[in-house]
Chains A and B, each alone.
Chain A
């Protein structure tokens, strides 16, 4: 069991190191999310109130995540490094988990900037909203990493990733917005936890089949 955790840690560390060197994905995500928030200011009619803004926050987060997810497997495509990982005796699901954790780190880093910016531009975020962000991030990164690997195999990879991912992201948006606006925020947090549980297990079990023949 501890070797599994060690494998995952080594793989996640590798991704963090690669991003620290290349420095292309994270700055792009940061700029994208800020630009999107500004666009939303102009997109919301006067007197809309706070609630639509929370909805748009979640749209911004999901699309920023998509930006990052589209780049997630690029290092593995170069030099066919993914083959190297698949040939290793480690569990294939560790490859997925390492990638999901690294993506989570990048998304969280982008949100460290985006959430205060949102609170500044639009409306304050309460604790259930923040908890919702954390839980939804987990769902986005676990499902997203798997779906991104699927898209990477396809001819039309940049085009197809949003198509594959967005229907799966709809429950996350519901959970996220609900935790931000609804008086029964806790209910939505539970729902997000359910989503995370179901889809993390499914992703963990099926990643093997996505990267092998």
Chain B
């Protein structure tokens, strides 16, 4: 059991962000989180990552920060650095072995090799999203948490992501929230629908 949640809830002061949910995710499993806007999908994913702490219930996640990769609504990269510089920084912080090789490989896989020396501020939304994915996967995390990863991707980008997710679902544990259920439904073995 990599993730166990029992009656996990989150409120900020008096405002509810997430009402009690319970679920379990095995190692190597894939959890698909669906629900309308405001139902708490983002909050739940942030709780799993440890960016927020639940105000009620018990949430156990069996990986530490080094084993976790996250893609949120924001890209978590520096606008005024290049793709290469961003990944270099995160590669150091995550103590990625053979940093250069891995960075190059990921950039190529996500089609960003040609723009690796351009600043992120000049990227399109889709390119930034792809860089965010590179950043999340740089350190080969055991648990990958993706919050609506298809947002902003064009068809080509979505195709790349499709392939990535298929591979990740085989090799790692995934938690994905999305509106686009169709794409990931086949991969998911656990589903959580938030109201």
Tell me if B81 is interfacial: C-beta within 8 Å of chain A.
yes
CB distance A89 to B78 under 8 Å? no
CB distance B51 to A86 under 8 Å? yes
Tell me if A44 is interfacial: C-beta within 8 Å of chain B.
no
CB distance B89 to A14 under 8 Å? yes
CB distance A84 to B85 under 8 Å? no
Knowing A17-B85, A83-B74, A89-B66 are in contact, say whether A22-B80 is a contact too (CB < 8 A). Answer: yes
A20's nearest neighbour on chain B, judged by CB, is B80
Q: Within B83-129, which residues are at the interface with A (CB < 8 Å)?
A: 85, 89-90, 92-95, 119-120, 128
In the complex, chain B residues whose CB is within 8 Å of the CB of A21: 80, 119
Knowing A87-B70, A89-B65 are in contact, say whether A81-B92 is a contact too (CB < 8 A). Answer: no
Interface of B, helix, strand, loop or mixed by DSSP: loop
CB distance A10 to B81 under 8 Å? no
Binds B, one of A29-37, A60-68, A72-80: A72-80
CB distance A75 to B74 under 8 Å? no
Knowing A17-B81, A18-B80, A75-B79 are in contact, say whether A84-B66 is a contact too (CB < 8 A). Answer: no
Interface of A, helix, strand, loop or mixed by DSSP: helix
Q: Number of B residues contacting the other chain (C-beta, 8 Å)?
A: 31
Tell me if A7 is interfacial: C-beta within 8 Å of chain B.
yes
Nearest Cβ on chain B to A109's Cβ, whole angstroms:
19
Knowing A213-B51, A213-B52 are in contact, say whether A89-B93 is a contact too (CB < 8 A). Answer: yes
Q: Number of A residues contacting the other chain (C-beta, 8 Å)?
A: 25
Knowing A89-B94, A90-B93 are in contact, say whether A81-B53 is a contact too (CB < 8 A). Answer: no
Tell me if B77 is interfacial: C-beta within 8 Å of chain A.
yes
CB distance A75 to B53 under 8 Å? no
Tell me if B76 is interfacial: C-beta within 8 Å of chain A.
yes
Tell me if B166 is interfacial: C-beta within 8 Å of chain A.
no
Nearest Cβ on chain B to A95's Cβ, whole angstroms:
9
Interface string of A81-106 (1 = CB under 8 A from B): 10111111110000000000000000
Knowing A18-B78, A22-B80, A80-B72 are in contact, say whether A87-B51 is a contact too (CB < 8 A). Answer: yes
Say which residue of A6, A14, A84 sits within 8 Å of B135 (CB atoms): A84
CB distance B95 to A80 under 8 Å? no
CB distance B76 to A81 under 8 Å? yes
Nearest Cβ on chain B to A166's Cβ, whole angstroms:
29
Tell me if B154 is interfacial: C-beta within 8 Å of chain A.
no
Tell me if A3 is interfacial: C-beta within 8 Å of chain B.
yes
- Taken together as a complex, chains A and B put the C-alpha atoms of A10 and B79 apart, in Å, by 17
**Most B Cβ at <10 Å: residue of A10, A85, A87, A89:** A87
The 8 A-B pairs with the shortest beta carbon distances in the complex, nearest first, are: A84-B76, A80-B74, A88-B93, A89-B66, A89-B65, A10-B92, A79-B75, A213-B52
14 A-B residue pairs with Cβ-Cβ distance under 8 Å, sorted by A, are A7-B92, A14-B85, A17-B81, A17-B85, A18-B81, A21-B80, A79-B120, A80-B74, A80-B76, A81-B78, A85-B93, A88-B94, A89-B93, A213-B52
12 further contact pairs, Cβ within 8 A, besides A14-B78, A83-B51, A88-B94: A10-B92, A18-B81, A21-B80, A79-B75, A79-B128, A83-B76, A84-B76, A84-B90, A84-B135, A89-B95, A212-B51, A213-B52
Residues of chain A at the chain B interface (Cβ within 8 Å): 3, 6-7, 10-11, 14, 17-18, 21-22, 75, 78-81, 83-90, 212-213
